[in-house]
Structure 1
Amino acid sequence: MKKERYILIVLSFIFTFVLAACSGGDSESTSSDSSKEQSGESKEQVLHLTDSAEIPTMDSSMTIDALAAQWLGSTKDGLYRLGKNGEPEPGIAKKHDVSDDGLTWTFHLREDAVWSNGDPVTAHDFVFAWQRAIDPDTGSEYGPYMMDGVIKNAESISQGDKSVDQLGVKAVDDYTFEVQLEKPIPYFESMTTFGTFLPMNKKFVEEKGEQYAMDADKLLANGPFKMTEWNHGEGWTLEKNPDYWDADKVKLDKINVKVVKDTASAVNLYETDETDRVNLSSEFVDEYRSSDEFKVEEEPTVFFLKMNQKNKLLSNLNARKAVQMVIDRQSMADVILNNGSLPIGGYVPGNFVKHPETDKDFREINGKLVEYDLDKAQELWSKAKEETGVDTVELRYLGGDTEVAKNLDAYIKDQLEQLDGLSIKVESVPFKVRLERDSKMDYDIENYGWGPDYIDPNTFLNLWVTDGGNNKTGYSNEEYDQLIKKAGSELAQKPVERFETFLKAEKKLVQDDAVIAPLYQRAKAQLWKPYVKGVTANPMGPDYTYKYAYIEGNE
């Protein structure tokens, strides 16, 4: 979103929440007002959350991370939003119609939705936001990623060949929004819940200019909550939006979020009843496993190593395959993570999508495309060094700066350095810096995570097309590009053939071309206070929905 996007991108969010977006990791914890609880009074409808990093930006055109996706999803409604079961439910759109050919979607908007400054939310707000996201001058990564090949003329616009006013979106009137697609998209309703497709108030955005969405007073909300404070590097506060069209369903009055990077501090907050949920790193799991408050939540989010093929040695296929094979994923999951996360030998997660005819899980069908084999890894590594003329090499490894991220990165460093002549320089940086460096391909190996932006294999596999906005590895393969293109065009309405094309694409990506080294499918070991109710974990976009959350005892 998002993975996650919403991007469920960084390891720093493994246990200290973001996404999402998905995607990517979460260390969020929730709590009631502890002084009220200790005095025996009923609990206020206030949650105190912790997160592991600062929000880079709340500009929905510019966000690429699960952390921002979480709070955009809490403060804004799109056409549809994720509901109680993680399924799309009406947001600003009351309903929609689809033409017989599947190319024209007409959304009928509610007339009682307003922005937090009192302006009505109209179809023009969607037109402006979608055009802004695809405009090359905006510099959005997710605009082209989500819209190219989906919304009519999006790709031509993102490449500078057509003007933004030719995007296939139109305000028929203030409360009727029409979208023209390039081809039938069976999961398009699901896509409309994603952050890139959220509306924007044009007058407000242009008034704030470059400062838009960088502080609480530079934001507008049209969703369940609005951001009232944002202390950069420390935390932020959301309050119930009294002008929200569905405010009667929102029970929480406030959500306070504090940035806490290490698990021990978060656990201490939980033990002192200052947080109601905490994600546990491996050293705490065994201690709390027998607790009635202990839970394990599996997610469709995968972590893997990206390998920069601009690097001389990593441009070699045998070198990349050696990296894939040298890591003992089972020990990593059992000992280092120890939180329910599963070793994965492929890229598309398990329990995410099933074959439309046989109902078998995608991961079950394709199985393990990569296995741990130290001897084979050494053999391939030796061949790679011979083929490239490299004998010894130091590779820069881009990782997160949280305690959990550093522990896991240290394990992976030790695993990689089993390869003869290889030394790894771990560069642990804050989340925002990781995003910037990934965008510039300023790394050799990067620990990276991805969560779905919608429920379809395409949300994982189309990352790796040539010059894709989230590729950032230098990988380009015409055969792979054609597989993804075929699945999205001529097979769009042939579900069985389309699914099997995605199976082939994953094998090409992981097994044949070794573009990434799969690591694990994320799960979170958590402690929950039993009086926190109504929080929904989502398979895509924002990791959690808080619209229906409440503190039991004062609901």
Structure 2
Amino acid sequence: MIRTATGTLAALLLSTAAFAQDATNPETGEPLAEDQSFTYRMLDDWKSIDPQLVEETAGNHAVRQLFEGLYNSAPDGTIEPGVALSHEVSDDGLTYTFTLRDDARWSDGEPVTAQDFVYGIQRAVDPELASNYSWYIELATVEGATEAIAGEIDPSEIGVRAIDDTTLEITLEEALPYFPQMVTYSTFFPARQDVIEEHGADWVRPGNIVGNGAYVLTDYRVGERWSAEKSDTYWNADDVIIDEVTGLIINDPNQALTRYFDGEVDMTEPLPAGQFPELKEEYPDQAHSIPRLCSYYYAFNQSESGPEALKDPNVRRALSLAVDRSVITDQILQGGQTPAYTFAHQDTANFEMPVLPDAQMTQAERDAEAQRLWEEAGSPDLTLDLIYNTSDQHEQIATIVSQMWKQKLGVDTDLSNYEWSTYLDVRGGQNFDISRSAWCADYNEASSFLDLMTSNNENNDGKYANPRVDELIDASRTAENPQEIYTEVEEILNEDTAIIPIYHYSLAFMLDEDVKGWPFENAENNWYARDLYRVAGE
């Protein structure tokens, strides 16, 4: 059915009238506020909100509001139906057949079809798009993805096909028990071929974009803000209460906190380093700290352009041991973060952290071992370039780490900060010695972290390579007990000092107590504005 402007206005008036007559949450009975908007703080602007190009947290928060995949991430971290109602798996575990809902619509009213998913997945592996997340389709072992990315076959030949408008078939090369979790990530989202062909790279700009999520992009100002309004064509629009979602880019966490208390934003994270304990005591119903499946680490440039000294594992290990992680977590951050010696987050589902020697030492023992290794490496006269994206918190951590290296090993460190987009380019081009990095799980399984350390992963910006790690990660995909493999991988990463794990995230944030429906149990921090609502203040 074609939706006319008159019809849209009539529907809006009916919706407003219904709200005025019965302004309570239909499930909880709570009285609803007249203002049903949600505004949150963003640390950085996104690089893209094209589902097949997005590669960072800022963009993904927006993409989840504007688009919808086969499955969504439920408030408790499990999966729930999105465009797909269900799926069946073949006996060999290689073929997934998804049944799509027939009432899913794009924001222009056109039906969402299985072919839209086929097109989205095919464009993700198309060398012409050159997506930094094409590897994700390969990681999911979609049939032919490796060859398509390499340009050896046409993207149309990979293992995705539309049986009919509401039936999608995806064929894998290896059975992955966690594959349904992987399709909650944006790389597997649908895309409108006609819109992309008409507008090119500008298809995701306000006025051009056609999404299938609960909201439609209405405003975007580079480096400042974005806004989206509730979509009246979303299949579950009647149950969506928040009618506008806005992200404000505020680089300074102290300014963000001030603007939170001034009522400009409803949610702000991360909090200024060290302030969470005091905020929790003073505002117990607004200050929260929950596990967050992200690991903060420093990457060494181990490519040909990297310093020769960093190719020595003794040098890398000494630098890692000299970092007193507890100072960072307990004295600087104070938001529930925990010292990290593994790459995979300690709260990852079905992951048991291996007992690594570094974690068993006292810091005094680590320092002594660091100095011994440094001397064994010839006590190199070293000046390192440490890069990070602009943030007071990243600067604080970089400053204290550089002091630790200077005091314990005599290493000089130059600190270089860049705004987000430039930082990604500098890091991705290996124009650094050591880079501040963080990885957040794309799905709740240890492989989402550990695959990053394989030699062919496009996000392995340090270019660490160990054939045994590649072999193990490949074997883990079909292993009955992948935990044994993950343990060995973590042991190798520790022995090689592939990276310097610094801390496992928690999400310390302020949330307006009038905003309800926040998914506190979702460790991936996959929130959807469509699940939120504002209650009337007393």
Same fold (TM over 0.5): yes
After TM superposition, give the deviation of residue 169 of structure 1 in Å. 0.4
State whether residues 76 and 522 of structure 2, in contact with CA within 8 Å, keep that contact through their aligned partners in structure 1. no
* Structure 1 residues 148 and 286: alpha-carbon distance in aligned structure 2, compared to 1, 3 A threshold: closer
Pick from 301, 305, 311 the counterpart of residue 308 of structure 1: 301
Q: 5+ unaligned residues in a row in structure 1: which ranges?
A: 1-40, 355-360
State whether residues 354 and 487 of structure 2, in contact with CA within 8 Å, keep that contact through their aligned partners in structure 1. no
Structure of larger gyration radius: 2
Corresponding residue of 1:395:
384
- CA distance, structure 1, for counterparts of residue 413 and residue 397 of structure 2: 14
Corresponding residue of 2:536:
553
Higher relative contact order (CA 8 A, sep 6+): 1
SS in 2 for 1:470: coil
- CA distance, structure 1, for counterparts of residue 355 and residue 277 of structure 2: 33
Alignment of 1:274-289 (within 5 A): 274-279=264-269, 280-289=271-280
Corresponding residue of 2:292:
299
After TM superposition, give the deviation of residue 543 of structure 1 in Å. 3.5
- CA distance, structure 2, for counterparts of residue 193 and residue 524 of structure 1: 21
RMSD: 2.0
SS in 2 for 1:375: helix
- CA distance, structure 1, for counterparts of residue 98 and residue 518 of structure 2: 28
After TM superposition, give the deviation of residue 219 of structure 1 in Å. 1.8
Please tell me whether residue 384 in structure 1 is matched to residue 367 in structure 2.
no
- CA distance, structure 2, for counterparts of residue 298 and residue 540 of structure 1: 6
Alignment of 1:59-458 (within 5 A): 59-148=50-139, 150-213=141-204, 215-279=205-269, 280-291=271-282, 292-293=284-285, 294-309=287-302, 310-354=306-350, 362-363=352-353, 369=359, 371=361, 372=363, 373-385=366-378, 391-458=380-447
- CA distance, structure 2, for counterparts of residue 553 and residue 445 of structure 1: 49
- CA distance, structure 1, for counterparts of residue 521 and residue 61 of structure 2: 10
- CA distance, structure 1, for counterparts of residue 277 and residue 98 of structure 2: 50
After TM superposition, give the deviation of residue 186 of structure 1 in Å. 0.3
Q: Which residue type is aligned with residue 234 of structure 1?
A: E
* Structure 1 residues 542 and 218: alpha-carbon distance in aligned structure 2, compared to 1, 3 A threshold: farther
Corresponding residue of 1:22:
none
After TM superposition, give the deviation of residue 327 of structure 1 in Å. 0.5
Q: Which residue type is aligned with residue 298 of structure 2?
A: L
SS in 1 for 2:207: helix
State whether residues 454 and 540 of structure 1, in contact with CA within 8 Å, keep that contact through their aligned partners in structure 2. no
- CA distance, structure 2, for counterparts of residue 330 and residue 174 of structure 1: 54
After TM superposition, give the deviation of residue 410 of structure 1 in Å. 1.3
After TM superposition, give the deviation of residue 83 of structure 1 in Å. 2.3
State whether residues 97 and 168 of structure 2, in contact with CA within 8 Å, keep that contact through their aligned partners in structure 1. yes
State whether residues 292 and 523 of structure 2, in contact with CA within 8 Å, keep that contact through their aligned partners in structure 1. no
Deviates more, 1:100-109 or 1:466-475: 466-475
State whether residues 297 and 499 of structure 2, in contact with CA within 8 Å, keep that contact through their aligned partners in structure 1. yes
After TM superposition, give the deviation of residue 206 of structure 1 in Å. 1.1
- CA distance, structure 1, for counterparts of residue 220 and residue 381 of structure 2: 47
State whether residues 83 and 545 of structure 1, in contact with CA within 8 Å, keep that contact through their aligned partners in structure 2. no
SS in 2 for 1:296: strand
Alpha-carbon displacement from aligned partner over 1:289-348 (angstroms, at most 9, x marks no partner): 312232212212111110111321111100100111000001111111111111112211
Q: Which residue type is aligned with residue 380 of structure 1?
A: L
- CA distance, structure 2, for counterparts of residue 411 and residue 258 of structure 1: 29
- CA distance, structure 1, for counterparts of residue 272 and residue 344 of structure 2: 24
After TM superposition, give the deviation of residue 145 of structure 1 in Å. 3.1
- CA distance, structure 1, for counterparts of residue 243 and residue 349 of structure 2: 36
Deviates more, 1:297-306 or 1:419-428: 419-428
Corresponding residue of 2:457:
468
After TM superposition, give the deviation of residue 217 of structure 1 in Å. 2.5
Pick from 504, 515, 518 the counterpart of residue 535 of structure 1: 518
How many residues align? The count is 497
* Structure 1 residues 395 and 538: alpha-carbon distance in aligned structure 2, compared to 1, 3 A threshold: farther
Give the TM-score, by structure 2 length: 0.88
- CA distance, structure 1, for counterparts of residue 229 and residue 188 of structure 2: 23
- CA distance, structure 1, for counterparts of residue 318 and residue 360 of structure 2: 10
* Percent identity for Structure 1 against Structure 2: 27
SS in 2 for 1:442: coil
Pick from 460, 475, 485 the counterpart of residue 486 of structure 1: 475
SS in 2 for 1:428: strand
SS in 2 for 1:185: coil
State whether residues 469 and 489 of structure 2, in contact with CA within 8 Å, keep that contact through their aligned partners in structure 1. yes
Alpha-carbon displacement from aligned partner over 1:181-229 (angstroms, at most 9, x marks no partner): 101110111111101001000000111113232x223322211111110
- CA distance, structure 2, for counterparts of residue 181 and residue 449 of structure 1: 29
SS in 2 for 1:210: helix
SS in 2 for 1:216: coil
Corresponding residue of 1:23:
none
Alpha-carbon displacement from aligned partner over 1:133-178 (angstroms, at most 9, x marks no partner): 0112211121223324610111111122222121000011122111
SS in 2 for 1:53: coil
State whether residues 386 and 413 of structure 2, in contact with CA within 8 Å, keep that contact through their aligned partners in structure 1. yes
- CA distance, structure 2, for counterparts of residue 343 and residue 87 of structure 1: 26
After TM superposition, give the deviation of residue 270 of structure 1 in Å. 2.2
Q: Which residue type is aligned with residue 442 of structure 2?
A: D
Q: 5+ unaligned residues in a row in structure 2: which ranges?
A: 1-31
Give the TM-score, by structure 1 length: 0.86
- CA distance, structure 2, for counterparts of residue 66 and residue 98 of structure 1: 31
- CA distance, structure 2, for counterparts of residue 405 and residue 475 of structure 1: 23
